[in-house]
Amino acid sequence: MPDSIALNPDGTLHVPDHPIIGCIPGDGTGPDIWNATRPVLETAVDTAYNGNRQITFEELPAGEISFKQTGEWLPLSTLDRIRALRVAIKGPMTTPVGKGMRSLNVAIRQELDLFACIRPARYIRGVPSPCSRPAAIDMVIFRENTEDLYAGIEWPSGSDEAKEIIDLIRKKTGKSLAPDTTGIGIKPISRENTQRLVRKAIQFAVDHQRKSVTLMHKGNIMKFTEGAFLNWGLEVGTTEFADHVILEDRLWKEFNGKPPKGSIVLKDRIADNMFQQVLLRPEDYDVIAAPNLNGDYISDLLAAMVGGLGLAPGANIGTDCAVFEATHGTAPKYAGKDKVNPGSLILSGAMMLDHMEWHEAAELVRDALQQAIAAKQVTYDLARKIPGATEVSCSEFGRQICRLMTP
């Protein structure tokens, strides 16, 4: 009988052999990539466990489809059901620009307190990359997922609230802002939310024998938000992980730049420099911990470095539940055309299987995806850059991965 995933008293997951997992197909190209991904995950589980394990996907309403059917963009019942099921996978959802409702994707993360957005960027052989040494790219972003400018505290120019804040700023700082044309946005960054994110990033580095964790911030300019992110992050590293972590100045003073075996170098980089560093010296960067906006920006850059958004997976992880989703958005111009690369959601599904400790199935998915790329039967985004490649549709790419997994 299908059953929900539960939490053990120590916080680990208890996954039954027939778990129910929530799924939200999403908007735009979301249904295309979800329809290609679902059979891949089902086939992987069936093959890895000889039919003894099976996922039942339960579709949950959210986004445009939900609004048309129920009048609600993100029903509370969907959030409750994800809480109860503990694990879900979703396609992207549309957010209007400069007007309209706030992001449903961000709302899911905030409402479920999925505080860590984890986005690996690892080069897959055969994928075209704009970088000269793509094989050196193996980074994992830990993006704070609940606060920063994404908190959604903002007022439009000319509103009473904006004028009130502008008055307050004038009184407190003596600085005049143009009262009628200035829009106001608030950037909250807290010690608690920073430290739980950085803690998770360093713990990941310890558990996976990674070489460094880099705190990416703009603390020279935004001293009490991004600068505080750095200070609070360093505090976690140097107190809670003192046995593992070594700071860069000590690394050079005492070890001539060569980290002692088993240590994790805790670095910090100002955000603008960080963009050129990862491009020019990818081997020097490993785990990256960043506030929400920096994490969003660097995610798409790292995705481009390993082949584009079509191959960029992600996970939103909290204490009680987790929601897996691609890094990219709805790519609306391709919606319903069965064209885009489902690889990003397929690899997010592999992360989900790892999260459930179904590593054999996760490995099958990753291996088959690599084989499909090696066979040069790929979607448009890769086909346009791989000499001699044949373009296949989104669904065909998924079917090909299924075939490659089937004995």
Ligand X SMILES: O=C(O)CCC(=O)C(=O)O
Q: List contacts with ligand X (CB under 6 A).
A: 95, 103, 105-106, 296, 299, 327, 329
Interaction partner, residue 341 (ligand X, Mg ion, ligand NDP, none; CB < 5-8 Å by kind): ligand NDP
Interface pattern 66-105 for ligand NDP (x via CB under 6 A):
--------------------------xxxx---------x
- Are the C-beta atoms of residues 197 and 232 closer than 8 Å to each other? no
Q: List the catalytic residue out of 27, 32, 123, 150.
A: 150
* CB nearer to Mg ion: pick between 226 and 296: 296
Compute the distance between CA of residue 148 and CA of residue 206 in angstroms, rounded to an integer: 27
Q: Which does 106 bind (CB under 5 to 8 A by kind): ligand X, ligand NDP, Mg ion, none?
A: ligand X
296 is catalytic: yes
Other Cβ atoms within 10 Å of 379 Cβ, number: 26
Cα separation of 6 and 338, whole Å? 35
C-alpha distances in angstroms, 193 versus 74, 104, 303? 24, 21, 25
User: Position 108: which residue type?
Assistant: I
- How many whole angstroms separate alpha carbon 86 and alpha carbon 81? 8
**Residue 329 is assigned to a ligand binding site:** yes
When CB distances are held under 5 to 8 angstroms depending on the partner's kind, the choice from ligand NDP, ligand X, Mg ion, none that residue 225 binds is: none
> What is the smallest separation between the CB atom of 66 and ligand NDP, expressed in angstroms?
14
Asked whether position 330 contacts ligand NDP by CB under 6 A, the answer is yes
Residue 314 host element (H or E): none
Q: Residue 395 carries which side chain, given as an amino acid letter?
A: S
Name the H helices within 188-245. Answer: 191-207, 226-240
380 carries a ligand binding annotation: yes
Among this protein's residues, is 150 annotated catalytic? yes
For residue 231, the minimal CB distance to Mg ion (Å) is 26
Q: How far is the CB of 271 from ligand X (least distance, A)?
A: 16
Q: Which amino acid, one-letter code, is at 300? A: D
Taking the mean position of all CA atoms in its chain, how far away is CA 213? 17
Does residue 297 have an active-site annotation?
no
**Which of helix, strand or coil describes residue 347?**
helix
Token pair, residue 334, equals 């391709």
Interface residues for ligand NDP in 104-133 (CB under 6 A)? 105
Per CB under 6 A, does 331 bind ligand NDP? yes
CB of 343 to ligand NDP, least distance (A): 7
Which among 90, 187, 200, 218 is annotated as catalytic? 218
What is the C-alpha to C-alpha distance for residues 186 and 111, in angstroms, rounded to an integer?
19
| Single-letter amino acid code for the residue at 42 | E
What's the N-to-C CA distance of the chain in angstroms? 27
Closest CB 346 distance from ligand NDP, rounded Å: 10
Q: Which residue is nearest to Mg ion (CB)?
A: 296
What does 373 interact with, of ligand X, Mg ion, ligand NDP, none (CB < 5 to 8 A by kind)?
none
Residue 2, Cβ density class (10 Å: 0-12 exposed, 13-18 middle, ≥19 buried): middle
Interaction partner, residue 140 (ligand X, Mg ion, ligand NDP, none; CB < 5-8 Å by kind): none
Could you say whether residue 144 binds Mg ion (CB under 5 A)?
A: no
Distance CA 350, CA 372 (A): 16
How far is residue 294's CA from residue 302's CA, in Å, rounded to a whole number? 12
Nearer to Mg ion, 119 or 355 (CB): 119
Position of minimal CB gap to ligand NDP: 329
Annotated binding site for NADP(+), which residues?
94, 328-334, 341, 380, 384
Catalytic residue positions?
Answer: 150, 218, 272, 296
Binding residues vs ligand NDP (CB under 6 A): 33, 92-95, 105, 308-310, 325, 328-332, 340-341, 344, 381
